[in-house]
């Protein structure tokens, strides 16, 4: 164990470490809050000056952290946000939570992680622990980040320490939050893993050590591929069972009574969020290096991305039966977020559904109590709408109302009473109604 390692260990144990979190989004900010709640001093770094200013003024932009809490931490001088990355030199621990999206060719876009690593390398000094939390393919930490970090001559595992620990945040989950979700940790060397574990043991209910950064990277991908494949499976079964006049929701409910060997996944209008539609393709890319095609991932992606079109086609059929064409039909989408009771619209199937309806000449409006405006989406540059008020008049004057996200605040009985046609993609309406179709 090096001198730096022992010194950092002492600092972590006594909570004297200064923690720097890079990327203050859905993952970074809850992590900041957790460290603060457990008595650490934290600096949050972000390239977005609006986020930095907002936080320093005590205004939170995500629901995980309240303005009151934030102001308390600022007053105690336990927290501050910064866009000046020279401040990284003063940190003992640097945790990276920047985006890892796909590029237009569905290949991993590691530019955020690599840019951040280059910035860290500029200020890296002895005794620092660097942890990557962003989801990525196996090999990112040791093959991509490490060469950048050692350029200045510091020795990994002796002078500085490097680990990967995947974030498992589940927005909107009331049972689990950052602090109560066990955390997998893989170090570049055993000592790197030990120090990272020591750190997270101070704030997280349980840590799960694994033998390397690559194993930790693969764990996260397995979790998300598992979800993607199972969601695709029930989406496909939904279509097959529907042709057999069998309600998939009833099937899933009954199957869930099996106490072992089965866990329920639910069909929907497609899949959304930053993780499930994106992360599996990180492995698809990397698997090419070992000359093996990721068939399950690709097939699941194909089925899931087809689902928004299925919803649109079901709506067209239902309107046809009412002697209505899609052109100029008034379509009201309920729910823009990719899942219930949250405000995150990234990769949301509602966006795809809206844009396909618009392409077909429909007049589209949406309501989402959590998303007042729909604009600025990279894949849908033309979409710029504001959430309309959900009134009986609006429902009555719509040709079709699509329940795309089953937010709990919606009064579904009232919606069915007032809308001429409801297309329910989430089983929000349990009883059979003449004006409701499942899609």
Q: Which residues bind ligand NAD (CB under 6 A)?
A: 22-28, 45-48, 51, 97-100, 112, 115-116, 134-135, 167-169, 171, 274-275
Chain-centre distance for alpha carbon 205: 21
Whose Cβ is closer to ligand NAD: residue 56's or residue 435's?
Answer: 56
Whose Cβ is closer to ligand NAD: residue 101's or residue 127's?
Answer: 101
Helix (H) or strand (E) holding 222: helix 213-243
Cβ 308 to ligand NAD, closest distance in Å?
Answer: 21
Torsion angle (degrees, nearest 10) of CA 154, 159, 160, 162: 90
The one-character DSSP state at 345 is -
Cβ 326 to ligand NAD, closest distance in Å?
Answer: 34
Ranges of beta strands (E only) in 38-115 are 41-45, 79-82, 93-96
Q: Is 275 a catalytic residue?
A: yes
Query: Taking Cα atoms as reference points, which of 194, 203, 220, 215 lies closest to residue 129?
Result: 194
Cβ 48 to ligand NAD, closest distance in Å?
Answer: 4
Residue length of the chain: 439
Interior/surface letters 347-384, b for 16+ CB within 10 angstroms, e for the rest: bbbbbbbbbbbbebebebbbbbbbbeebeebeeeeebe
Burial bucket for residue 201 (CB in 10 Å: 0-12, 13-18, 19+): middle
Distance CA 210, CA 184 (A): 7
Whose Cβ is closer to ligand NAD: residue 96's or residue 248's?
Answer: 96
Distance CA 184, CA 180 (A): 13
Whose Cβ is closer to ligand NAD: residue 116's or residue 398's?
Answer: 116
Spatial strand order in the sheet of 436-438 = 363-367, 330-334, 400-403, 422-424, 436-438
Whose Cβ is closer to ligand NAD: residue 344's or residue 399's?
Answer: 344
Distance CA 282, CA 102 (A): 8
Q: Is the dihedral of CA 218, 221, 223, 229 positive or negative?
A: negative
Q: Which two tokens stand for residue 18?
A: 């200064």
Whose Cβ is closer to ligand NAD: residue 84's or residue 323's?
Answer: 84
Distances (CA, A) of 373 to 172, 211, 269, 368, 387: 20, 45, 21, 9, 6
| Active-site residue, selected from the candidate residues 97, 192, 275, 374 | 275
Whose Cβ is closer to ligand NAD: residue 189's or residue 230's?
Answer: 230
Closest CB to ligand NAD: residue number: 25
Cβ 121 to ligand NAD, closest distance in Å?
Answer: 13
Whose Cβ is closer to ligand NAD: residue 138's or residue 157's?
Answer: 138
Cβ 322 to ligand NAD, closest distance in Å?
Answer: 40
- 3-state class (DSSP) for residue 427: coil
Cβ 238 to ligand NAD, closest distance in Å?
Answer: 25
Cβ 7 to ligand NAD, closest distance in Å?
Answer: 27
Query: Taking Cα atoms as reference points, which of 49, 382, 402 lies closest to residue 374?
Result: 382
Strand partners, 334: 367, 403
Chain-centre distance for alpha carbon 180: 17
How many CA atoms lie less than 13 Å away from 339 in the CB half-sphere? 12
Q: Which of the residues are catalytic?
A: 275
């Amino acid at each position: 164990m090096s001198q730096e390692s022992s010194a950092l260990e002492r600092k972590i144990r006594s909570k004297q470490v200064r923690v720097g979190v890079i990327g203050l989004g859905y993952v970074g900010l809850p992590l900041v809050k957790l460290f603060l709640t457990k008595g650490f001093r934290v600096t949050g770094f972000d390239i977005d000056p609006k986020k930095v200013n907002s936080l320093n003024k005590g205004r939170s932009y995500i629901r995980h952290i309240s303005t009151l809490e934030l102001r308390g931490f600022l007053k105690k001088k336990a927290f501050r946000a910064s866009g000046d990355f020279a401040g990284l030199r003063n940190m003992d621990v640097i945790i990276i939570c920047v985006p890892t999206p796909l590029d237009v060719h569905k290949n991993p876009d590691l530019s955020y992680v690599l840019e951040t690593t280059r910035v860290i390398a500029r200020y890296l000094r002895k005794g620092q622990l660097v942890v990557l939390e962003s989801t990525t393919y196996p090999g990112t930490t040791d093959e991509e980040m490490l060469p950048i970090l050692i350029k200045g001559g510091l020795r990994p595992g002796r002078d500085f320490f490097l680990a990967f620990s995947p974030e498992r945040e589940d927005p909107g989950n009331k049972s689990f939050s950052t602090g109560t979700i066990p955390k997998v940790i893989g170090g570049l060397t055993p000592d790197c893993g030990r120090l990272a574990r020591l750190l997270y043991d101070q704030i997280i209910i349980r840590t799960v050590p694994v033998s390397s950064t690559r194993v930790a990277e693969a764990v996260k991908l397995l979790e998300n591929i598992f979800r993607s494949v199972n969601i695709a499976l029930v989406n496909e079964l939904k279509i097959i069972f529907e042709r057999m006049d069998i309600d998939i929701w009833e099937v899933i409910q009954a199957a869930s009574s099996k106490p072992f060997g089965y866990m329920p996944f639910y069909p929907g209008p497609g899949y959304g969020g930053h993780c499930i539609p994106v992360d599996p393709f990180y492995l698809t890319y990397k698997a090419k290096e070992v000359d093996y095609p990721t068939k399950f991932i690709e097939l699941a992606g194909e089925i899931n991305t087809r689902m928004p079109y299925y919803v649109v086609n079901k709506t067209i059929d239902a309107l046809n039966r009412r002697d209505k064409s899609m052109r100029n039909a008034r379509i009201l989408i309920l729910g823009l977020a990719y899942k219930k009771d949250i405000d995150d619209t990234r990769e949301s199937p509602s966006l795809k559904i809206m844009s396909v309806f618009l392409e077909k000449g429909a007049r589209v409006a949406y309501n989402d109590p959590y998303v007042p405006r729909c604009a600025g989406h990279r894949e849908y540059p033309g979409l710029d709408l504001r959430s309309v008020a959900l009134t009986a008049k609006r429902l009555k004057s719509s040709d079709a109302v699509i329940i795309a996200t089953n937010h709990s605040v919606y009064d579904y009985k009232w919606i069915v009473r007032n809308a001429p046609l409801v297309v329910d993609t989430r089983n929000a309406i349990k009883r059979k109604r003449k004006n409701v179709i499942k899609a």
